[in-house]
Structure 1
Amino acid sequence: MKQPCVYMMANRRNGTIYTGVTSNLPRRAFEHREGLIKGFSSKYDCKLLIWYETHASMIDAITREKQIKAGSRAKKLALIESLNPEWNDLFDTLA
């Protein structure tokens, strides 16, 4: 079942952050972890799923992704810290 969501990957706590959108978070997070997605996330070794948010539609998820990407790093850090203050890898919590 597809579930639109926005997510953030990082290489370490307070490290480089990648923000993306997908309809299949377990698959996409796995692809990041294994380095199967070429580009920013593989270049900076962003393999930890540190934050995600589900949405009712892909349009809503894309809108939210753009809002997050347009925000400051401080806002991204506050968002992560509010839901995952220890920066735990959330990959194993996915169904």
Structure 2
Amino acid sequence: MDRLTGQEFNIWMPDNSLELIEVTGNDVDATLLKIGSVKPVVNSEPSEANYVSGWDDRAIFHNDDIYYLHGNSIWKSFWQISEITTGPF
């Protein structure tokens, strides 16, 4: 909100993450349950190109491991504790 005019502004901010969603139940009463998310830590170095698009993002799941390809980097996390994210690699 602008302090001088009192006008409210909606500003779009890029925020990329891999949302982890689990399907529970069966065909009749299936529901979606959000488990967590993998959020890449963006390097703020000027030499790094900012990558905000998610068009080419990919993920690989291997047992409990999650590998999230975001831009030119890979981030690693875990299904049960997605708040622990390491990378970029």
TM-score in terms of structure 2 length: 0.34
Largest Rg, 1 or 2? 2
TM-score in terms of structure 1 length: 0.33
**Higher normalized contact order (CA 8 Å, seq sep 6+, divided by chain length):** 1
Structure (1/2) with the larger strand percentage: 2
